[in-house]
Copies of this chain bind each other. A is one copy, B any other.
Amino acid sequence: MGPPPSASGRRDAQRNATRVLDAASTIVGRCGAKALTMDAVADQAGVGKGTVFRRFGNRAGLMAALVDHIERDLQERFMTGPPPLGPGAPPLDRLLAFGAARLEIVAAQGPLMIEIGDVGRRFDVPAHTLALTHVRLLLRALEVDGDVELLASALMAPLDPALVALQRERGMSLERLVAGWHDLVRRVVRVR
């Protein structure tokens, strides 16, 4: 065990970690999840391979951290970001913006989210639970009647990365998926 890291040492480590995750995100967006290797990410981030291994352990650790990083970014946007996704816009606008933002992320990062997703557990992760709560609160703000917990779940279900990946493979555009989700929301909240 070495001495505890200094405050500036911790800041450097945090900055490096963010740099590595941004680099990982770029690689996956450009070349797909399979192209994400420890070597490629160290190169892209301009840090030593040792830094990547020390921080993330192995490729699986890096991928899990990347998905967490992507989810946190969306969380910040819908919890504290600018409207219509963040607070300040009417609840229906926020709900419509949420699905569009999530579909955009899933369309770009879906293969990665699928690769790390544990089939039996993918609905039981903090990020999913937080998103579900967000949708439920918006439905309540809209004074939707009925079993709001299940309606929120029904609205989240079509945003599943594996489903979206297949729909995209079959030639459905992101625009069409967003329009379809928006139509679903309007039906569920019973507005035209």
Annotate A152-192 by CB proximity to B: 1 below 8 A, 0 otherwise.
Answer: 01100110101101110000100011011101100110100
A128 to chain B minimum Cβ distance, whole angstroms, is 10
**C-alpha spacing A119/B115, complex, angstroms:** 8
Contact residues of A with B, CB < 8 Å? Answer: 111, 114-115, 117-124, 146-147, 150-151, 153-154, 157-158, 160, 162-163, 165-167, 172, 176-177, 179-181, 183-184, 187-188, 190
By secondary structure, the A interface counts as helix
Nearest 10 Cβ contacts at the A-B interface: A150-B180, A157-B157, A119-B119, A154-B158, A114-B120, A157-B158, A147-B180, A123-B166, A154-B184, A187-B188
